């Protein structure tokens, strides 16, 4: 990694962790100084239940962390799912500090915001808590692997053991899962982003988590955003198309 390279902040989704970007890092560090963030109560990050955990507040936390802890004042940002929404909020909050946004299947672009008290993926969290103790066995038994990933991607058979292991551990240990969900409930993205900030919004054509007809409302996103659709791709775009994801982040950043 070359510290003279521009900063790139990576923001994961609900129930995930910074480890979800692991397979992209060898290529990304050739162009960027990469900061893979753990959201509160996810990965190695602590959880303060007195804090606000709506996407805009989370974006503000990351901006403050980058400035005060990492001494980084300007950055590119890429995020998946909730992380994509947070990335958009970061650009709205401080457009002078955000050079580009690559929103990979971002949440927050719903036709109608979710209001249920229990997250729709709560069954995945329960399954992760159980299966974390016998991952090597579960991974090699197709019905068990399908049980954990078929609702996320139609390409579940192609997922590597490392990706599955990291995602199961992240979900099982995500103490911030419910608090961050409460920060999402009843909300959708509604902030204004300066048109000078380059924004790419990218969805797979087979996103089972945030479907096109209910969660990809273009009128909710920034009017100047470049919308991109990837063929044969599900919600966690970097699982299905690693090289394409790297290419799109680089292109958004102007490389």
Confidence of residue 139 (pLDDT cuts 50, 70, 90): confident
For the beta carbon of residue 192, count every other beta carbon within 10 angstroms. 10
Catalogue all structural domains in the chain, each as residue range(s) with its CATH number. Answer: 7-116+184-252 (3.40.50.1820)
The Cα 3–Cα 219 span in angstroms is: 38
The Cα 106–Cα 128 span in angstroms is: 23
50-54, 224-228, 242-246: lowest mean pLDDT where? Answer: 50-54
Predicted local distance difference test score (pLDDT) of residue 191: 96
The Cα 227–Cα 209 span in angstroms is: 18
Model confidence at 65: pLDDT above 70: yes
Question: How far from 132 is each of 5, 122, 127, 195, 238, CA to CA, in Å?
Answer: 37, 15, 8, 44, 22
Return the SS3 of 202: strand
R_g over Cα of the chain = 17
**Where does 10-160 have alpha helices with state H?**
25-28, 55-68, 82-93, 122-131, 135-139, 142-149
Predicted local distance difference test score (pLDDT) of residue 42: 97
Q: Across the chain, how many H-helices and E-strands are there?
A: 11, 6
Task: Provide long-range contacts, Cβ within 8 A and 24+ apart, for 119-123.
Answer: 119/14, 119/177, 119/178, 119/181, 121/14, 121/15, 121/151, 121/209
Which one is predicted more confidently, 118 or 16? 16
pLDDT tens by residue, 198-238: 999 999 999 999 999 999 999 999 999 999 999 999 999 99
The Cα 15–Cα 41 span in angstroms is: 9
């Amino acid at each position: 990694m070359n510290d003279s390279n521009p900063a790139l902040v990576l923001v994961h989704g609900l129930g995930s962790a910074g480890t979800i970007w692991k397979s992209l890092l060898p290529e990304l560090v050739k162009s960027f100084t990469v900061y893979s963030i753990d959201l509160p109560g996810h990965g190695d990050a602590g959880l303060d239940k007195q804090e606000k955990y709506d996407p805009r507040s989370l974006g503000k936390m990351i901006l403050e962390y980058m400035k005060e802890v990492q001494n980084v004042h300007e950055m590119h940002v890429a995020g998946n799912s909730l992380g994509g929404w947070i990335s958009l909020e970061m650009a709205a909050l401080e457009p002078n500090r955000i050079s580009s946004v690559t929103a990979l299947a971002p949440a927050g672009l719903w036709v109608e915001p979710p209001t249920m008290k229990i997250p729709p993926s709560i069954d995945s969290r329960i399954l992760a808590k159980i299966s974390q103790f016998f991952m090597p066995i579960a991974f090699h038994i197709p019905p068990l692997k399908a049980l954990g990933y078929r609702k996320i991607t139609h390409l579940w058979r192609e997922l590597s053991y490392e990706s599955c292991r990291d995602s199961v551990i992240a979900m099982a240990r995500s103490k911030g899962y419910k608090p961050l969900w409460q920060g999402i409930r009843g909300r959708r993205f509604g902030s204004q982003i300066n048109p000078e900030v380059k924004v790419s919004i990218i969805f797979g054509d087979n996103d089972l988590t945030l479907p096109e007809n209910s969660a990809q409302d273009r009128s909710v996103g920034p009017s100047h955003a470049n919308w991109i659709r990837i063929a044969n791709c599900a919600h966690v775009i970097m699982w299905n198309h690693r090289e394409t994801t790297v290419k799109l982040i680089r292109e958004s950043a102007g490389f």
